[in-house]
Chain A
Amino acid sequence: MSKFKKSSNTQQEIPTAALPDIIFMLLFFFMVTTVMRETDILVKQQLPKATQLQKIERKSLVSYIYIGEPKNVSLFGDEPKVQTNDAFVDIDDVILFVNQEKDKLSEAERDKITMSMKVDVGVKMGIVSDVQQELREANALKVLYSSIKRGED
């Protein structure tokens, strides 16, 4: 039976000295990928619910347009407004915003730009269709009506 006798001089423990390094590596990964800064959304955003949702294929091609009633009613009134980046814009200036966003992309990708419309449910279609007319004018034809999956409250 001495054949199976355990050799006692082998190390039984797994070395844990490298554990902190592994954890730090993971930590740095998450620190780098976390996007802390999001645009300060100045409008109410209760997105509509829908069932037929599609994912965005490439995030770098997406720009956001927020439409809704301003959160700060005493300062901006209660009429729905359009927000791009961090500020309210007039509807006529949406075309400027689209062109700015297009300039950030390379030549070949400009036509693939997708505008994600984050519109509050309380908004009427008038302002939405005005923005859409501007988007047509700016030749940004791919639109995504951002919504939440129904049944996931």
Chain B
Amino acid sequence: MPRNKNRQPPEVSSGSMADIAFLLLIFFLVTTTIANDKGIAMRLPPKPDPNEPPPEVNKNDKNIFKILANSGDQLLIEDEPYRAGMEQLKEDVKEFVLNFGSPGDEGIQIYNSLPSTMKAKINQFGKRKDSSDDPTECVISFKAARGTSYELYIEVLDAINGAYNEIYAERVGISVEEWLSLDKEDDIQNDMYERARQGIPRAISIAEPDK
């Protein structure tokens, strides 16, 4: 008994489909956590070969920058108690690495390759005989005790890395942020990276804690 015989078949309105989809889209946009996993990269030394005796350390003592941390989170740097902050430690490491006490041939080459601002700084305070010979020889040795807190360990490691990164960045004339975001897949950037690191190895030695 329909009154209206030529009625259209009922349609679901799809006008709000876009809105529903938008809602879902926004939900996923908000919940997506793009994991920005960052940290301090380090390379561990390879496992010692039991058939070979441990390598002789024939570095001159003055070329090693010694940092010791005890269980009470106190630092001993170059055999003296250290109370200044991490910023100062970074400057000290920088000064140590960029000291040309008695540079070898390679050291002189590196000195000549540095930009003039760095040369000026080195000429001002970086020719002490009692500090390191030249950047190729430098080693930063860091030894933490078993009771040292991880927080201090990271702080010191960060300071040492910071010193090296500042040297590298200044050497090629970019900021530290730009240096840290260099993409090694890209040829031009990789070339810059190699140029900055050439001759100044990031020699950080993490000693095993005493048992």
Contact = CB atoms under 8 A, between A and B. Distances in A.
Interface of A: 16, 19-20, 23-24, 26-27, 30-31, 33-35, 48, 50-57, 59, 62, 114, 116-117, 119-126, 128-129, 132-133, 135-137, 139, 141-149
Given A23-B22, A53-B38, 4 more contacts: A19-B18, A120-B150, A125-B145, A126-B146
A137 B208 CA distance: 14
A52 B150 contact: no
16 contacts: A23-B22, A30-B25, A34-B28, A52-B162, A53-B39, A54-B40, A54-B41, A56-B39, A116-B37, A123-B150, A124-B146, A125-B147, A136-B44, A141-B44, A143-B42, A146-B38
Contacts of B181: 55
Nearest to A117: B39
Given A30-B28, A33-B32, A52-B165, A137 B150 contact: no
B180 A143 contact: no
Contact of A125 (B40, B162, B165, B209): B209
A19 B117 CA distance: 57
Contacts of A129: 144, 146, 208-209
Contact of B32 (A30, A116, A117): A30
A43 B153 CA distance: 20
Contacts of B24: 27
Contacts of A139: 46-47
A52 B37 contact: no
Given A30-B32, A147-B38, A121 B149 contact: yes
B150 A133 contact: no
A123 B22 CA distance: 45
A126 B70 CA distance: 12
Contacts, number: 146
Interface size class, chain B: 35 or more
Contacts of A50: 39-40, 154-155, 157-158
B45 interface: yes
A123 to B, nearest CB: 5
Given A20-B18, A27-B21, A53 B46 contact: no
B21 A56 contact: no
B53 to A, nearest CB: 18
B52 to A, nearest CB: 15
A125 B150 contact: yes
B41 A125 contact: no
A147 B39 contact: yes
B40 A53 contact: yes
B39 A135 contact: no
